[in-house]
Amino acid sequence: MRNKIAVTAMLTALLIVLKSYLAITTPIMRISFAFFPLALAGILYGPLWAGISGGVGDVVGLLLYPVAGFHPGLTLSAILSGIVYGVFLHNKTRQLWRVVCVVFINNFIISCGLSTIWVYQMTGQAIRALLPVRLIQNILMAPIMILMIWVLGYKIIALRNNKKMISGDE
């Protein structure tokens, strides 16, 4: 249990750093690799821990680096993203269609759907102006996300599991 909390905390910290420092942010969109630690949390520990990581990462990231105002809907979207990673990828066989489904749900249902509504509520900008930019962003990021999760994410998990087997750690 301690290991799970420690690793989730480190992944959440990495999420905050990637979202805050290594991101391109405009008032209507953000391009970052913050999805990756969240995906790892989902693969490793399931929907509950990945959801917690997403929610804590959103709130703490906003407190440390306030780019925009707080909106509980955006935190809900971050929690849902983690849950989706956990539901589709935790304790499941490694299959490309699962990764594609996760990216589709997160990019086009949660980000283009829910998060666009939350940004509209915060900024008052017309959804017709927000949606095309967010669609382009998510279309461009989808193959990158799929590739990173499929190749890098599962490689990290495999290395971690091999280390556990060799050292006898639980």
61-113 residue pLDDT tens: 989 988 777 889 999 999 999 999 999 999 999 999 999 999 999 999 998 89
Q: What is the pLDDT of residue 21?
A: 85
Q: What is the pLDDT of residue 31?
A: 80
Task: State how far the Cα of 17 lies from the Cα of 102, in Å rounded to an integer.
Answer: 23
Domains along the chain with CATH numbers: 2-154 (1.10.1760.20)
1-16 residue pLDDT tens: 888 999 999 999 999 9
Reply yes or no on whether the pLDDT at 51 is more than 70. Answer: yes
Query: What's the chain look like in SS3?
Result: CHHHHHHHHHHHHHHHHHHHCCCEECCCCEECCCHHHHHHHHHHHCHHHHHHHHHHHHHHHHHHCCCCCCCHHHHHHHHHHHHHHHHHHCCCCCCHHHHHHHHHHHHHHHHHHHHHHHHHHHHCCCHHHHHHHHHHHHHHHHHHHHHHHHHHHHHHHHHHHHHHHHHCCC
Q: Which residue in this structure is represented by tokens 């290594």?
A: 22
Name the pTM for this structure: 0.88
Reply yes or no on whether the pLDDT at 29 is more than 70. Answer: no
% of the chain exceeding 90 in pLDDT:
59
Q: What is the pLDDT of residue 148?
A: 95
Rounded to an integer, the average pLDDT of 130-144 is 90
